[in-house]
Structure formats: structure tokens, C-alpha cells
């Protein structure tokens, strides 16, 4: 590994339980700043679980438990006394399905701004516009900001979700299979968008689509049965996989 790399998140010895069932086993993974890290692996391998620890969203559910350390800029976010609301402002999340709230396009994007900054008037409008531009959605919705977010197309809804996630200027974006519910053209748009977002954010994307990981990511991590099998620079990872499990997976042997 090169020494001059700057890591935004360092995961150290992370284990995770759904009640009695252990889903992650002592995993360590470093996430480089302003890069896209892709997590791939078969269904149930723990890739989404891993992602959901980064903003502690799993804590909404009883019986789910994480152990280990996750250092965000050196500070362990699994500590008891971490300010969860601020953590979630710093780490945004995009889900499998688009999740516009049942309110207007404008209000959707303004929502996190109102939560964290109590902005009003022209300042709020400027921030909403900037977020929509950042998500490449502005040109399509600038004349219909009052329209219900649910009335947009699937791809637009997902970009609206991204606009909302970046509105409060987070540092990290977590994306949990963000294109699995939308069509190929909309997917291409979002991949293009991610490429431009990399300058401002550190991105971690979970995907079951290996081609997508190969196209857009800088680093790829392969999860299998709750363990990280192999991590590497994406080009290297796909051209020259080292672990036999990775080789098998990439040759689509046990993709099912």
C-alpha cells in the first residue's frame, strides 16, 4: 500500500450480530478520502450490513449489535457519546429504492438543511439549488420545484434522494445498491454523477453489479459469508484477483 494515501474511515476489527446470529467477523477495511470504494459479494455476504454500521442506522432495530472500531477522521463513531445526529449529517446515505418524502421537490431537499442549519429564505433557496445542481437534477426540476417528489420518474427520484443527502454538506456518502431499482439509462446518469461527486465526498457503494464496481470505483472489497476476502485497487482487483474465492466469484462460478 502506498504511504501517501489519506483515509477517511478506518474500520478495525468490526463484528456484527443480528440477535444471536453473527453476520460480520472481525473485519478491517480502510476507506480512502475522495475516492469511491465498492463493496461486492453475493447476497447475504454482509456487504449492506457493513455499510449500515457507518452511520449507525442499524441501531433503529432491536437486537442488532456492532463491536469493534470505526474511526472517522480518527474518532471512533461507535463510542457511546458520539452525537448521532451530527454523525448522520456528516455521513449521508442513499438506499436501494428512491426515498422521496411525500412533499415537494424543494421541501425534500430543504429538509436536512432545516434540520441542521435552521436556514430560511434566499439562503435556503440557494442551498437547495446548489444541491439539486450537484445531483444533476436542477435542469429537469427547476420549473417544478413545488411538484410532489413522488411524481418524478424513478431515476429522478433517486437523484432527488442524492440531492437531499448532499444538501447538508456531508463528508461521506453511503450508497446501498443505489441503481438496483432503476433502468439502465437512469443508472448511467447516476454513475456519471458519482464520478463528479467523488471530488467533494468520500463514497462507499454496495453493489451486486460487478461491472458497475469495475466501471466506477477506485477500490473494491469482496465480502463472502461475513468476511472480507480481498481488497485492492479496482483495476488490479478485477484483472488480477489473488484469492481463489475472488477468482471463483469473478468467473461467475457461484454467483447464484
Partner 1 sequence: MSERVFKSLTFAAASLTVVLAASFLIVLWFSGFEAWKTFGLKFLFTDVWNPSSGEFGALGALSGTLFTSLLALLIATPLAFAAAMWASDAPKWIASPLSRAMDMLAAIPSVIFGMWGIDFICPHFGFSLFSASLILSIMILPYITAVMRDVITMTPDVLKESAYGLGATRFEVVKDVILSFGKNGLAGGIFIGLGRALGETMAVLFVAGGLNMIPSGLFDGCTTIASALANDFAEAEGLHRSVLFALGFILLMLEFAIQILAQLYLKRGKIK
Contact positions toward partner 1, by CB under 8 A?
A: 55, 57, 60, 62, 84-89, 92-93, 95-97, 99, 101-103, 111-112, 115-116, 150, 161, 164-165, 168
Element (H, E) at 195: helix 184-197
Residue 60 Cβ, how far from partner 1 at the closest point, in Å? 6
How many CB atoms neighbour CB 66 within 10 A?
Answer: 21
d(CA 207, CA 222): 11
Q: In what order do the strands lie in the sheet with 75-76?
A: 21-32, 7-18, 64-72, 75-76
CB 72, CB 91: distance < 8 Å: yes
With CA atoms as reference, report the closest residue to 38 among 145, 187, 194, 155.
194
> Residue 109 or residue 228: which is nearer to partner 1 going by CB?
109
Smallest gap from Cβ 42 to partner 1, in A, equals: 22
Taking the complex as a whole, the smallest distance from the CB of residue 88 to partner 1 amounts, in Å, to 4
Q: How far apart are CA 112 and CA 50, in angstroms?
A: 24
| Between 91 and 210, CB nearer to partner 1 | 91
Amino acid at each position: 500500500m502506498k504511504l501517501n494515501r489519506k483515509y477517511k474511515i478506518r474500520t478495525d476489527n468490526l463484528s456484527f450480530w443480528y440477535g444471536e446470529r453473527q453476520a460480520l467477523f472481525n473485519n478491517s477495511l480502510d476507506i480512502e478520502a475522495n475516492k469511491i470504494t465498492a463493496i461486492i459479494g453475493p447476497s447475504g455476504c454482509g456487504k449492506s450490513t457493513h455499510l449500515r454500521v457507518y452511520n449507525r442506522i442499524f441501531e433503529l432495530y432491536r437486537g442488532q449489535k456492532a463491536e469493534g472500531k470505526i474511526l472517522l477522521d480518527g474518532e471512533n463513531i461507535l463510542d457511546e457519546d458520539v452525537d448521532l445526529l451530527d454523525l448522520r449529517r456528516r455521513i449521508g446515505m442513499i438506499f436501494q429504492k428512491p426515498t422521496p418524502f411525500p412533499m415537494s421537490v424543494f421541501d425534500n431537499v430543504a429538509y436536512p438543511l432545516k434540520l441542521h442549519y435552521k436556514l430560511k429564505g434566499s439562503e435556503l433557496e440557494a442551498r437547495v439549488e446548489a444541491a439539486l445542481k450537484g445531483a444533476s437534477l436542477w435542469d429537469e426540476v427547476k420549473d417544478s420545484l413545488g411538484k410532489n417528489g413522488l411524481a418524478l420518474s424513478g431515476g429522478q427520484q433517486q437523484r432527488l434522494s442524492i440531492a437531499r443527502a448532499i444538501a447538508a454538506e456531508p463528508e461521506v456518502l453511503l450508497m446501498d445498491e443505489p441503481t438496483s431499482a432503476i433502468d439502465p439509462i437512469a443508472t448511467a446518469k447516476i454513475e456519471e454523477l458519482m464520478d463528479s461527486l467523488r471530488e467533494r465526498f468520500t463514497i462507499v457503494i454496495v453493489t451486486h453489479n460487478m461491472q458497475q464496481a469495475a466501471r466506477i470505483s477506485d477500490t473494491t472489497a469482496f465480502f463472502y459469508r461475513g468476511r472480507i476476502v480481498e481488497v485492492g485497487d479496482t483495476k488490479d482487483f478485477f484483472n488480477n484477483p489473488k484469492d481463489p474465492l475472488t477468482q471463483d466469484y469473478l468467473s461467475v462460478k457461484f454467483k447464484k
